[in-house]
Structure 1
């Protein structure tokens, strides 16, 4: 039986670990080949460890173990020229591009008065402009191929602001707006654009934040405890990244060909509270 994305090629950012790796593996399981990028280096102003070259190499190993092709390289999503050059190279090797998954992101947490200009700029540049760069780097290949699917990772905090997460909220609400704008304009080219809105996901990023000895959520809660309930979700616990990848797979597949401009929350009810 053919996989749900058999013969498709997907470009995924932030693919070295966490949700990005999970997306690469889930799509590969269902027949896709992968173009993968990640900065694979420590990001400035981020207090927890970010991805490494070894992380990206492990994603490559796991995709190849599924007998799918993958081309991968360390590229910063803030580097539009670098992204475009690598996507063009990947399409040259793999023959086409059908799916773009703009997943790369960071989160620097703390009360509003701890948000420095550097934190704001780094977060916006990666989480919003980096997503725009991701689309810009690859969308012409989708158009030239007759259409495709773009899936942009926003957040529950792109539908409902979360406390002590000002820069992240700004960027993720921006991704929601970017999705709807692109969906309108690219529909005539048979390119669908949707956003996915994860809640709490068990990833190195989330665990890195909560593992900090002085994490911003705790500082915020001490200053403003009445806001802590904003983080409530109905299904308890942290979800595995694969739960988000299942949503990405559906949006990448031909099962969702009339779904565009949609904000799909996979958040255990967080945005409903």
Structure 2
């Protein structure tokens, strides 16, 4: 580790496991104190298992092995008031906030005519409103700190249409636009905002149950399955691959990078 984040404080949502856990571990390993936020309860409508409090405990324990402070927050990104109160308390404890990784999100694959009102609403509530809430609860602290970096986790589905995922694709295009819009208005405060767009990642969201759900949805039109194939001959990427990109964007190594949509997608968005 190179100490790229030494002396800084980073907040990560969806931190209990998967990509979120890796972001917490990477930031702590690079010298940052971390605020680790997760719902630790049942996610709406998903095929994969939801995180539990013990998952967040594991993330904290692993990150603390780096010698950094880690403040766990059990909070719902859909609840702005509750999230803001929790974040304010954690920032007061650690003294500042320098970077944010808005990672929390869900995906519920379905053919277009099987998408219910609940599926659409739940996806937008977590992926779009939850991301907006995260920025609104944290950006004032970055202003106070004199600047910083915000990374919004989108998807290759925010760069290229992915069939059988209309609510998810809609939400991730929205996150991409949100990043650019916040980048414009927060630039004067020295705050950079970028989005990251992974292909399928080896996490619970990419579990066998999730793949089975995608395969079932794709039976509606098998011709479209090729749209989900990566250009590189890999089925998916690792959490470390995504964390590498996020670390670059939150660190001073990318001090002049903002309003950028960074693809870590094995070429799927161009294939």
Q: Does the pair score TM above 0.5?
A: yes
Query: Corresponding residue for 2:268?
Result: 270
CA distance in 2, matches of 1:247, 1:79: 28
Q: TM-score, normalised by structure 2?
A: 0.97
Q: In the TM superposition, what are the counterparts of 1:76-155 in structure 2 within 5 Å?
A: 76-155=76-155
Q: 1:2 to 1:200 in 2, by over 3 A?
A: closer
Q: 1:208 to 1:146 in 2, by over 3 A?
A: farther
Q: TM-score, normalised by structure 1?
A: 0.96
Secondary structure of the corresponding residue to residue 207 of structure 2: helix
CA distance in 2, matches of 1:261, 1:220: 33
Q: In the TM superposition, what are the counterparts of 1:1-273 in structure 2 within 5 Å?
A: 3-207=3-207, 209-210=209-210, 215-235=212-232, 236-273=234-271
CA distance in 1, matches of 2:231, 2:264: 12
CA distance in 2, matches of 1:80, 1:194: 21
Structure 2 portions without partners, runs of 5+: none
For residue 239 of structure 1, report the CA deviation from its aligned partner.
1.2
Give yes or no for contact 2:47–2:213 (8 Å, CA) kept in 1: no
C-alpha RMSD over aligned residues:
1.2
How many residue pairs get matched?
Answer: 270
For residue 237 of structure 1, report the CA deviation from its aligned partner.
2.6
Secondary structure of the corresponding residue to residue 150 of structure 1: strand
CA distance in 2, matches of 1:256, 1:47: 36
Structure 1 portions without partners, runs of 5+: none
CA distance in 2, matches of 1:3, 1:44: 38
For residue 50 of structure 1, report the CA deviation from its aligned partner.
1.1
Q: 1:154 to 1:209 in 2, by over 3 A?
A: farther
CA distance in 1, matches of 2:46, 2:217: 18
Secondary structure of the corresponding residue to residue 223 of structure 1: coil
Moved over 4 A (4+): none
